[in-house]
A and B are shown apart, each in its own frame.
Chain A
Amino acid sequence: GIQVEQSPPDLILQEGANSTLRCNFSDSVNNLQWFHQNPWGQLINLFYIPSGTKQNGRLSATTVATERYSLLYISSSQTTDSGVYFCAVEHLNTGNQFYFGTGTSLTVIP
């Protein structure tokens, strides 16, 4: 398989602060997605980003496939941003199979 490591494992922020979450992967990938799992357990798509940079409101993501990492930026954090953020990659050699990292647990306090 492929190893997917996320950092930091836990993060506590004051409302309004900015943060950067990192996803490192051990081999070449076809695809990469970022998800937010809310406190009720629902997994929500944030970005499909195999390479390059995308922005959606206060969130943006950058993937540098040649260096095997992706970053998720959260600006002006809100309490509703709390939850777990997962990175998932589709290994180049085993198409259709996604491998998830263990996530970053974010808590935003008012």
Chain B
Amino acid sequence: NAGVTQTPKFRVLKTGQSMTLLCAQDMNHEYMYWYRQDPGMGLRLIHYSVGEGTTAKGEVPDGYNVSRLKKQNFLLGLESAAPSQTSVYFCASSYLVEQFFGPGTRLTVL
């Protein structure tokens, strides 16, 4: 039982490049979330999903897109990366309300 996994762990992008972050969970959770963590600001919700095929915007959705084609996977896309998107990205999943987090992806945009 791996819990919540994230791929990749680290990535460096140039401004304007695109990439996709993958989150996978093996706990059969309905809810999945993408957060970003910046120094001194805690975690902020980007997008979330309440089930397969559904997505919704969180607190800071601009510049990101998401997809939930399979229940166990939640993808976060950056179509045209900007330096302001340099951050640590965390994925989480939950059955009802208690969230469980992945190990994070450290993204640097130059």
Binding site for B on A (CB under 8 A): 1, 4, 30-31, 33, 35, 41-43, 45, 48, 86, 88, 90, 96-103
Contact = CB atoms under 8 A, between A and B. Distances in A.
Q: Chain B interface secondary structure, helix, strand, loop or mixed?
A: strand
A24 B88 CA distance: 25
Contact of A97 (B40, B58, B88, B100): B58
Contacts of A99: 45, 59
Contacts of B69: none
Contacts of B13: none
B97 A31 contact: yes
A18 B33 CA distance: 34
Contacts of B43: 86, 88, 100
Interface residues of B, number: 24
Contacts of A103: 42
A42 B101 contact: yes
B100 A45 contact: yes
B48 interface: yes
B42 A45 contact: no
Nearest to B56: A96
Contacts of B97: 30-31, 33, 48, 90
B88 A41 contact: yes
Contact of B44 (A30, A35, A41, A100): A100
A30 to B, nearest CB: 7
B42 A96 contact: no
A4 B59 CA distance: 14
A1 B58 CA distance: 10
